[in-house]
Structure formats: structure tokens, C-alpha cells
Amino acid sequence: MRVRRYQSVWLTAGWLALALAVTHTVNRCAARAPEGPVIISLRERVVIGGRVVNVGDVAELRGGKAQVRALVAKLDLADAPTAKEPRTVTRQQILFRVRLANIPESLFRIEGAACVQVFFGRFRVPEAEVIAAACQALFKRLPWSEDEIDIQLLQPIAVPLDVEAAREDITIQAVPHAANTPLGRVQMDLAIYVRGDRRLSFPLYLDVKLCQKVAISTHKIEPGEPLTAANISFDRRPVENLRDYYSSLEMLTNKRARQAILPGSVIVASLLEVDENKPGPILIKQQEAVKMIVRLGPVTVVAAGEALQDGRLGERIRVRNVDSKKPVVGRVVDKSLVEIDP
């Protein structure tokens, strides 16, 4: 009885092991089972904007292994068509190209149209990108930060911005028409390049304003009343002549109203007079780095300088041009800012 019982247990264990082995083999075979070929379904007509025609441009790819689909999609077939001459891509071209890439025929199948007409598309450069390129080129010429500059387009762009090229092949170049640092009405020379070849060039006209923090009256200021933190605040506004405005409380410590100033008015030099008993603070110290501005009609030129003496608001001091090393005389209009007489 014991022998039969042991034999029964042994047979049961053997059948269980055999079943597990078969299941494991089936699972391995299923994991290795082919996913089917990549289906290359040709379209009848496509419009592209790239430099070359790839399989992925002219056909829809589905099925098969993802790696094979990605490889087939990137295979090049022909040079890009021109605006006047479309390209024709046939099944035979695709078949030859895939074979040339050493992809076994068991891994792909071609179906769909017998041939594909490939047309070249035109890309319209967005106007916003053109203006952004002009602004960035302008910011590089200005000594102030971007949030201190207000730029507006003066005239609409007159030329069509359509280019026979793919987006990735297009670059935009912008340079100021004048060599000096521009403020006011500014002409920018724009050019659109395709793979290094200039295709379009045109002027762009901008209104460039400097925005600075300036003093604003918070309520009515009576004649003779001193200007203090109690009756002024500061806000960023476009300015034209920097020496007419006040950008800090220190600049107003010895000033009083020459006449009545209404609430919300921008405080300018003509509204104030100096209290002789309260000399203004020193805004520029000797050997301090300063910005020098020169106004030549509607154009403002900015250069780097070094103060050769201390200076209070409105005082004339000597400064040295860092580039030319020549000393010049200018009027202190703000902290570290001197306006040079033309």
C-alpha cells in the first residue's frame, strides 16, 4: 500500500512539473512571436517643407515594431521639390530604398497609392517673430533693461513674409539702421535667410521710448510746499528728457513747489524751485562709473564714462569717456547719469 501511495505522489508531481515546463515554453514562444510587418501605406498627394523627401512624408506607417517604423520613416527618398516642379515617388522607389537599408522584406509591406505627388509648401514667417527679432537686436544696443524700454510698431510690415522653405531652415536677422544707440523713431533693417541665403530684406520702423520711475503727485501740492514722501509716489512712465524728471526721493529733498501741482501730475523741473537752505544730495561721486547720454536731434546716443568729480542734481561736472579716454563736461540728471552738451 505504501509503494502505490508513493508512486501516486511521484506521478502527480511529475505531471505538475511537466505542465509548468510546457506553460513556460508557451509563454516564451508567445513573447518571441513576431508583431507583424510594418505597413507602409502610400498617400496620393502630400505637401512638405523639408530639405528632402522621407518615407514618413509620403506614407502612413503603422504596425510592426516601433524601432522598425522609426527607421523606415527617416529613410530619404529624393531631394525636396521646388515651387514649380513637384516630385513623384513610386512604390518601387520606396521598396528599393527600404531594401537598401538592409531591412528584411518580412518586416514591412507597402500598400496604398501606386505613386505619390509631392508638392513643396510655402512658409509664412509670423509677423510677431519678425518684431521679436527686431526688439531683441535693439535691446543689445541699449544700456537699459528690457522692462525699461517700450517699443511700438510705427508702420505695418509692407512686404509679404511668405518664403519657399521649411520653418527649421529660416533665420531672421535684424540690425539698427544707424550705428548709435537708438531712441525715438528707429529704423531696423530686417533680413530673412534660408539656409544662409538671403531671401527677403525690408525696413521696420519702431517707436522706442525709455520708461523710467518718475515722481507723481499723490494729491494737490500748494505753492511753496516741500516735496516729501507724504505728497509724492513713483511710477514708471515714458520719458524724453531725463533731466526734467525725478526718479528718487533723494533728488527732491531740497525742492519745493513753484506753483500748484494737481493730483496725478508728473513732477518735472519746471514745476519746482530749489530751497537754498537745503542743498541736494551728491548723486555722483568721483571715479564712479556713469552713463553719458548725448542728444542729437531726435536721436539719443549712450556711452560709458567715469566721473572725475562729485556732482549734485543739475550741476555740471567733468567725466571721461571710457572708449575715447577724452574728458567732457555734462549735467547731472540722475544717479550715475550725465547728459553731455552736444
CATH code: domain of residue 105: 2.60.480.10
**pLDDT beyond 70 at 46:** yes
- Is the model more confident about 204 or about 212? 204
Q: Which of 15-29, 166-180, 207-221 has the lowest mean pLDDT?
A: 15-29
Distance, in Å, from the CA atom of 147 to the CA atom of 124, rounded to the nearest integer, reads 29
Q: For residue 65, is it within any domain?
A: yes
User: Are 42 and 116 found together in one domain?
Assistant: yes
Distance, in Å, from the CA atom of 212 to the CA atom of 220, rounded to the nearest integer, reads 23
Q: For residue 93, is it within any domain?
A: yes
In tens, the pLDDT along 305-317 reads: 999 998 888 788 9
pLDDT at position 151: 92
CATH code of residue 314: 2.30.30.760
Domain boundary among 184, 202, 220: 202
pLDDT at position 147: 84
- Return the number of other C-beta atoms located less than 10 Å from residue 223's C-beta: 11
Q: For residue 133, is it within any domain?
A: yes
| Vertex 13 angle, CA 10 and 14, to 5° | 85
pLDDT at position 71: 94
Domain boundary among 62, 91, 121: 121
- Concatenated DSSP letters for 88-136? EEEHHHHHHHHHHTT--GGGEEEEE-SEEEEEEPPEE--HHHHHHHHHH
- Is the model more confident about 240 or about 189? 189
In tens, the pLDDT along 67-99 reads: 999 999 999 998 888 767 888 999 999 999 999
Q: For residue 80, is it within any domain?
A: yes
Q: For residue 212, is it within any domain?
A: no
Give me the torsion for CA of 14, 18, 20, 23, rounded to 10°: -160
Question: pLDDT band for position 289 (50/70/90)?
Answer: very high
Q: For residue 180, is it within any domain?
A: yes
Q: What b/e sequence results for 160-191 when a residue is b if at least 16 CB atoms lie within 10 Å of its CB, and e otherwise?
A: ebebbbbeebbebebebeeeebbbeebebebe
pLDDT at position 242: 65
Q: For residue 163, is it within any domain?
A: yes
Distance, in Å, from the CA atom of 176 to the CA atom of 135, rounded to the nearest integer, reads 10
Q: Which of 219, 251, 220, 217 lies closest to 234, judged by CA? A: 217
149-to-24, 143, 183, 241, 334 alpha-carbon distances in Å: 72, 10, 9, 15, 17
- Concatenated DSSP letters for 52-73? EEEHHHHEEEESS-HHHHHHHH
Give me 99's grid cell. 531594401
Query: Average pLDDT over the chain, rounded to whole?
Result: 82
Does the predicted TM-score (pTM) go above 0.85? no
Helix (H, G, I), strand (E, B) or coil at 16: helix
Distance, in Å, from the CA atom of 266 to the CA atom of 241, rounded to the nearest integer, reads 13
Number of folded domains in the chain?
4
- Is the model more confident about 28 or about 283? 283
Distance, in Å, from the CA atom of 190 to the CA atom of 333, rounded to the nearest integer, reads 35
Extended strands (E) in 129-181: 149-153, 162-163, 170-176
Domain boundary among 68, 103, 121: 121
**pLDDT beyond 60 at 26:** no
pLDDT at position 237: 86
Instruction: Report the pLDDT averaged over residues 12-18.
Output: 41
- Domain with 76, as residue range(s), is 38-121
CA 18 to chain centre: 67
**pLDDT beyond 70 at 13:** no
User: Are 106 and 179 found together in one domain?
Assistant: no
User: Are 318 and 341 found together in one domain?
Assistant: yes
**Percent of residues, the chain, with pLDDT higher than 90:** 42
pLDDT at position 22: 36
In tens, the pLDDT along 162-197 reads: 887 777 778 999 999 887 767 888 999 999 998 788
